[in-house]
Amino acid sequence: MAKVIDGKAISQMIKDEVKQKTEALKQEGIEICLAVIQVGNDPASTVYVGNKKKACAYTGIHSKSYELPEETTEEELLHLINMLNQDASVNGILVQLPLPAHINEDTVIQNISPDKDVDGFHPQSVGRLSIGQRGFLSCTPAGIIQLLKRSNIEIEGKECVVIGRSNIVGKPMAMLLLRENGTVTVCHSRTKNLKEICRRADILVAAVGKPKMIDSSYVKQDAVVIDVGVHRNENNKLCGDVDYDSVFPIAGYITPVPGGVGPMTIAMLMNNCLEAALMQNGK
Ligand code: GUN
């Protein structure tokens, strides 16, 4: 039977650590500020942005909100980003994705100053991660490393299998596990004998995007199973990429949905804002 990794409790610990350090910086006269930009009003994005602003309020980070209409042009958005890049009182810039179809996301991400790239999506942040330099880490995979470390799960020398190769989760997850000296395999939609490869994993990270696809037939006895997926099932209940009921009896550790990986993303965003302020102040 698996031990359940409590992402809610671990994310709370991280937010409390950020809050403490943010208060200490305030004593030195340094206030942390995150600019949050949303273009249009995609309902899911509105919920995410709301949760990010709430976490800022909790940790003592000032959030500046920019809610732009759907018709905003790429040029207007780039103009705002450029102003925020130059504004020394702003430490981090977050542009909520997805953007409307007429705006090129790559162009927008590349125009955020790498020093303020708290999402860790800028090519410079991605490059730094892959060559082992200090930089901003994509929040969800960075949160997964924290879940493992704070549950005393060793990564070094372990067979780690990541299912999914997105720029936001799969690829940075693989790089982070490699940095922790795991032996990493990345699987994707064209992978042959996926099940066989997954069954080798000591640590299995599922970021497939298919509800409950990973059942016990993909999992080795006592493996650590990390579920990045968030879906609504037929009864409107949240579920992940992992078939929890099937995997729970044989896994060593498992993350639930909700309450596993999800809350970690925002906690790590807060940590990246703190990192940004520290770096910009030469600390
Ligand atoms: N949309 C979905 N996840 C994310 C995220 O982590 N950051 C941003 N900026 N947009 C998202």
266 lines ligand 1 (CB under 6 A): no
Task: Give the 3-state secondary structure of residue 98.
Answer: coil
pLDDT of 186 reads 98
Catalytic residue chosen out of the listed positions 6, 15, 38, 52: 52
Rounded to whole angstroms, the Cα distance separating 165 from 181 reads 19
Q: Any idea where the domains of the chain sit in the sequence?
A: 28-113, 139-262
| Cα–Cα distance list, 15 to 19, 41, 59 (Å) | 6, 27, 6
Q: How many CB atoms lie within 10 A of CB 149?
A: 13
What percent of the chain has pLDDT above 70?
A: 100
Supply the pLDDT for residue 195. Answer: 98
Considering the candidates 96, 117, 171, 202, report the single residue annotated as catalytic. Answer: 96
Tell me how far the alpha carbon of residue 200 lies from the centroid of ligand 1, in angstroms. 31
Residue 15 three-state SS: helix
Centre of ligand 1 to C-alpha 182, Å, is 26
Q: Whose CA is nearest to atom 8 of ligand 1?
A: 96
Quick check: do 28-113 and 139-262 share a fold? yes
- The per-residue pLDDT for range 56-90, each reduced to its tens digit, is 999 999 999 999 999 999 999 999 999 999 999 99
Q: What is the pLDDT of residue 233?
A: 86
96 lines ligand 1 (CB under 6 A): yes
Dig out the tokens for 214 from the structure: 């990973």
- The CATH number of the structural domain formed by 139-262 is 3.40.50.720
Measured CA to CA, the distance from residue 222 to residue 159 in angstroms comes to: 13
Q: Is residue 38 flagged as an active site residue? A: no
Q: Ligand 1: does its nearest atom lie under 6 Å from the Cβ of 230? A: no
* CATH placement of domain 28-113: 3.40.50.10860
Q: 119: Cβ below 6 Å to ligand 1?
A: yes
Cα distances from 41 to residues 73, 81, 146, 165, in angstroms, run: 15, 19, 32, 28
In SS3 terms, 156-176 reads as CCCEEEEECCCCCCHHHHHHH
Low-confidence residues in the chain, pLDDT < 50: none
Task: Determine the atom of ligand 1 nearest the C-alpha atom of 45.
Answer: 1
